[in-house]
Amino acid sequence: TTKWADRPFKNNIDRDAWNLKSDSSTNKARKYRSDKSTKINETSTVEPNAGVVRAALYIKNLSVNMPVKISNILCSLMFETPGGELVPMSSFRLRNDDYSLFEVEVYGGSDFGPYVVELTNLNTAEVEKAIAAGYTPKIMIVDYTMTHVADSNYKSSLLSFTGNNLKIIEENAKGRTALVKVYGPGVREMYRVTAFDTPNVSNPCNTKTADVFSPGISLKKALERISCSGDNITFKDYVIDLSESAPKLGESRVYLKGIQSFGGVSTNIPCEDETSTGSDGVSRTACVQKPYSQWTESEK
């Protein structure tokens, strides 16, 4: 069987998931040095705190009838290295021109943005060194307050909840959902799906009626619901051969159901389809892994 060493996850793939960020970062650094040499001459003066970072803020309310007021937004400025590591710079609250805290009301099914977030008076030397080294500035939202909007009729649908902190509604909903995180080549996603099963429904992507609801959901059912959003997910039966890594086991093969492909990204376990009859008399076809000693260099 294949043994993978534990490695921390690093986001070192660019937006298109084709090239490592080091390539694009090198180009950015080269362009910065070129622009600096052509635009700044001997008479130019750069103040010590002239660094500026700008970003666009978008807010989307995915609910149907849950209008919310977003305020007290806490952001952090980070620089992402070519290797995908994040270097912290500073944290700040979003504010209006009069220095009051920024707030916005976003209604169900609507979008807000772009809103320009500008962070000024940054240390010039630090920003120059970061850009020259190919670092990418990022502004991330760390925390925010979410409350009712004025005259909201959504309050009446909350039954016994009379508070104003709508994050509690989200927390209560998490108890009825399952969190699925997917990490792979070109895939960095997080999903939430309803954590109950409808066993009598044949098409989970087009459910109109259901007569039975049961608590809990299998990983396969959760992935099938995720595939309803457009990500093509296929499954396959596998048999993992442990005879070489654990020769003393009485049963050296493990049968499992696994993911064959996710969003077009396929597994590459060296295996061959075989059909066999189990102890229960049922015939099954699965992809049986080749022993590790038989793997070619390309398969390793």
The answer for residues whose C-beta is within 8 angstroms of residue 70's C-beta and 6 or more apart is: 59, 103, 104, 105, 106, 144, 145, 146
Range of the domain at 76: 13-165
**C-alpha radius of gyration, the chain, whole number:** 26
17/158 same-domain check: yes
Domain total of the chain: 2
Buried b (16+ CB within 10 A) or exposed e, 13-23: bbeeeeeebee
Handedness of CA 276, 278, 283, 289 (dihedral sign): negative
Q: Which residue has the higher pLDDT, 252 or 85?
A: 85
> Are residues 145 and 267 both part of a single domain?
no
Tell me which of 70 and 46 has the higher pLDDT. Answer: 70
Residues 56, 138 share a domain: yes
Residue 118 included in any domain: yes
Q: Are residues 242 and 156 in the same domain?
A: no
Pair (151, 271) in one structural domain:
no
Residue 258 lies in a domain: yes
pLDDT, tens only, 145-167:
999 998 888 877 777 778 889 88
Residue 231's alpha-carbon distances to 167, 201, 224, in angstroms, are 29, 20, 9
Q: Is residue 277 part of a domain?
A: yes
Last-in-domain residue among 122, 149, 165: 165
Query: Do residues 112 and 106 touch, judged by C-beta distance below 8 A?
Result: yes
Domain boundary among 132, 149, 165: 165
Q: What is the pLDDT of residues 266-291, one digit of tens each?
A: 888 888 898 888 778 888 889 988 88
Give me the percent of the chain exceeding a pLDDT of 70. 85
Domain boundary among 165, 190, 206: 165
Mean pLDDT of 33-44: 67
CA geometry: angle 259, 262, 265, nearest 5 deg? 110
What predicted TM-score, i.e. pTM, was given to this entire model? 0.57
Cis peptide bond N-terminal to 137, omega within 30:
no
Residue 267 lies in a domain: yes
Mean pLDDT of the chain: 82
Rounded CA-CA distance 112/104 in Å is 8
Determine contact, residues 13/112, Cβ cutoff 8 Å: no
- Average confidence (pLDDT) over 77-81: 89
Residue 150, domain member (yes or no): yes
Q: Examine residue 65 and state whether it is found in any structural domain, yes or no.
A: yes
